[in-house]
Amino acid sequence: MDSYAESDCHELLLRLAGRLPDRQLWRFRDWLASGAVTALARSLPLTLLRERVGLTAEESRLLTNALRPAGADPERLNALPWVDEIAEVDYTFTSESPEWVSMGDSTGVVLGAIVRDRTDIGEVRGSWRLPRTGGEPATRVVLVTATSQCARLAGELQRVLRALGTHEPSVEVIPRGILLPRYHQAALAASVPLAMGAAEGGHLVPS
Amino acid sequence: METAVTQVADRVALPIRVHDLLLGLAGRLDDDALTDARELLASAELDRSLELIAGCLVAGRIPLSPVERRDLDTLFTEAHCDPTLIQQLKVDDGRARPPVHKFHPGLVDTQVGGAEQGVNDAVHRVLEVLPDVRALWCVWRTTPAGAVAGPVPNRVVLVEIGPRGFPPSTAYRIEHALRRAGIRAAVEVLRDSSPLTEYHRQAMQQARRVSFDGADGSAEPDAPRTWGQERQGGWKKEPEPEAEQPSSSSWIPEMEPVTSPKETTTVLDPVADDTPSSPAPVPASTPSPSPRPDRPNFDQPSLRRAEPVEEPKTPAVPVVPAVPAPVVPPSVPSVKDTFDDSDLNDQERDLLRQLQEELAKREQAEAAAAPNKKLSWQTDKSGRHSDNESKQWSSPPTPRIINGAPPSAGGTGEPPRFSPGA
């Protein structure tokens, strides 16, 4: 998979945050990070169809560019419905988990230890996501800026968070220059800094 | 008509073959992948289940044996999946060693707790409707599984089902019930006609059994619950009447007998290793009137509640005159014989099963002839859901230690937190 296709696929999976269940999204991101694009090409379109997830025209272009060369079924790709724009985000975000009072953030400490001195990583921030309809516990969303290898970084951080106890990690590695989707804008607006890498100009929120 | 029958048979067989494949991958794939694949399987999304399995194998670079690879290839073909993915699977060339896992039943007095804690409360309602569920076992796996391992220890729930049970839906429903109760667990549903994998055999050796009705454990909160404590503590139990032993085929390694006849028992019975080095003798202080101390304890009647007609026999045995009629006639093979012989072929198992069904019918007839017995059973069953018992089981699930850190909020790996009101 060439780097353009990989970055397209990463961007698509980034855009699907909040629209595809975390349970499936982190898995697809892991497959992309592991280079299992063939598997992704089979499963992602089928999952989007079964879950009735509509794509914008731009997202459809990303999907086709990324997965068609890897063997995605064109019939499935063409069957995916388009939407004009992504509707309002179904979640609200807060800087602190409303369910618990933190007495120390071991996840933030571990992330800080990982990204320290990494020149491909900028800022790491976190916020807590709650569904507007309620009924689900708060989910931590980790937002990271990276200069390169975004997909692999997402996979790496996901593995760390899973080992720490988050079964379905929500790690959003944001490449430079991307227009943030509403989901990420909302998450970022409520986020607090967790750690800082060594990449220059990697601040998600201007200081 | 023949075609229709064949199609029905195919529809049944294919998901079960995928289920068996997943059993073989336990310990090699991460638990969430197995859980998700089983959920898709139970939801009649066979293609997505297979693609998920293959995708995880490819991404994790997990080797398959040539036989497994061939089986997966066949399943892909039969499910009309694109077999291109299969070609990327790594095939074990004999150098890859399967992961070695360690299991532990958990210690009640520690933060980890017994693996069975909270399980009964979470699943008992589901177990009442799932067919032919025979036994439930819990254990902690202390080693990570898969390329994208989750936290350790991870709870593993082993479920034994009979021939009328449906493995994929049983696995999904039990896992779903546990998840709703805030308990994450890998649910492995083992069919009595399938041999145990090494992974499951090792898990079973350390697992504790969970009774479905679950009141007795809460009635004896101070009772020793670990295997070692039970062995040393002289845990008193009422002897189990011999006449209440239903015969049933199984392949689970031999375990110490269940000594409590109470259908409501939640106290988790110890599981003895079947290895020669394991301490086989039953503690002298544990009353076990059964002349066959190595009888598998999943044979307890309380664990066979899937069939309502069998239920009346347990609580009413000492009272109802009809009960002394032999539930197990002399011609019935002894339980020990039944379970010791793991080499029974299908025909023999079928004969045994027919015999069991006949016995169940006789019991049902006896129960109908003795209305008091039925009444007794009904009373007992309603008592199972009394407030007292539910209160006793209302404690939260056992805290989980994640890399040395206490339990997390909402399944996340967060540090110890306190409620804002605390």
Residue B108: what pLDDT? Answer: 67
Q: Does the N-terminal peptide bond of residue B83 adopt cis geometry, omega within 30 degrees of 0?
A: no
Encoding tokens for residue B346? 């299908």
Q: What is the pLDDT of residue B190?
A: 96
Which residue out of B82, B148, B172 would a mutagenesis test of the A interface target, given it has the greatest number of A Cβ atoms within 10 Å? Answer: B148
Taking the C-alpha atoms of residue A117 and residue A128, their distance in angstroms, rounded to an integer, is 26
Residue from B354, B368, B278, B147 nearest A39 by CA? B147
Note whether B374 and B265 are within 8 A (CB).
no
Tokens 């989910």 identify what position? A139
Flag if A46 and B51 touch (Cβ within 8 Å). yes
Is B111 within 8 Å of B406 (Cβ atoms)? yes
Residue B143: closest C-alpha in chain A? A163
| H-only helix segments in B83-149 | 119-129
Q: Distance between CA A156 and CA A30 in Å, rounded?
A: 8
Confidence label for B111 from pLDDT (cuts 50, 70 and 90): low
How far apart are the C-alpha atoms of B355 and B336, rounded to whole Å? 16
Going by pLDDT thresholds of 50, 70 and 90, the confidence category of residue B110 is: low
What's the pLDDT score for residue B366? 63
- pLDDT score of B245: 37
- Rounded-to-integer distance, Cα B73 and Cα B50, Å: 10
Whole-number mean pLDDT of chain B? 66
The arithmetic mean of pLDDT across residues B178-202, rounded, is 93
| pLDDT computed for residue B289 by the predictor | 37
**Which residue is listed with tokens 């069991």?**
B356
pLDDT tens per residue across span B276-317:
333 333 333 333 333 333 333 333 333 333 333 333 343 333
pLDDT in tens, B244-277: 333 333 444 444 433 333 333 333 443 433 433 3
Contact B83, B76 (CB under 8 A): yes
Q: Is the pLDDT of residue B228 over 50?
A: no
Tell whether B238 is within 8 A of chain A (Cβ).
no
DSSP for A18-53 reads TTB-HHHHHHHHHHHHTT-HHHHHHHHHHHHHHTT-
Express each pLDDT in A137-183 by its tens digit: 899 999 999 999 999 999 999 999 999 999 999 999 999 889 999 99
Q: Are B146 and B60 in contact (CB under 8 A)?
A: yes
* CB contact B184 to A (< 8 Å): yes
Q: Which of residues 25-54 of B touch A (CB under 8 A)?
A: 32-33, 36, 45, 47-48, 51-52, 54
Rounded-to-integer distance, Cα B351 and Cα A81, Å: 55
Helix (H) or strand (E) holding B232: helix B227-233
Structure confidence at residue B259 (pLDDT):
38
The answer to whether B60 contacts A100, with C-beta atoms less than 8 Å apart, is: no
Low-confidence residues of chain A, pLDDT below 50? Answer: none
Kindly identify which residue of chain A lies nearest to residue B54, measuring between CA atoms.
A39
Question: In this predicted structure, which of A16-30, A191-205, B156-170, B227-241 has the lowest mean pLDDT?
Answer: B227-241
| Inter-chain CB proximity A138 and B55 less than 8 Å | no
Highest mean pLDDT among B4-13, B143-152, B406-415 belongs to: B143-152
pLDDT, residue B97, reads 80
What is the per-residue DSSP string for B54-100?
Answer: HHHHHHHT--B-HHHHHHHHHHHHHTT--GGGGGGS-B--S-PPPPP
Widest Cα–Cα separation across chain A:
52
Which residues of chain A neighbour B417 with C-beta distances below 8 Å?
97, 100-103
Cβ neighbours around A149 below 10 Å, total: 19
Predicted pLDDT at A4: 86
Q: Are B297 and B248 in contact (CB under 8 A)?
A: no
pLDDT recorded at residue A7: 94
Q: What percent of chain B has pLDDT over 90?
A: 41
Q: What pLDDT does A53 receive?
A: 95
Q: Which residues of B touch A50 (CB under 8 A)?
A: 45, 48
Contact (Cβ atoms closer than 8 angstroms) between residue B272 and residue B254: yes
Residue B14: band (very low, low, confident or very high) from pLDDT cuts 50, 70, 90: very high
pLDDT at B127 over 80: yes
Highest mean pLDDT among B28-32, B207-211, B331-335: B28-32
CB atoms within 10 A of CB A57: 10
- Cα separation, B299 vs B309, in Å, equals 16
Residue B343: count of CB within 10 angstroms of its CB: 7
Query: Is this model's pTM higher than 0.90 or not?
Result: no
Question: Which is nearest to B24 in space by CA: B172, B157, B201?
Answer: B201
The predicted structure's pLDDT at residue B53: 98
pLDDT number for residue B318: 39
Q: Does B417 touch chain A (CB under 8 A)?
A: yes
**pLDDT tens figures, B21-78:** 999 999 999 999 999 999 999 999 999 999 999 999 999 999 999 999 999 999 999 9
Q: Are B417 and B409 in contact (CB under 8 A)?
A: yes
- The pLDDT of residue B352 is 73
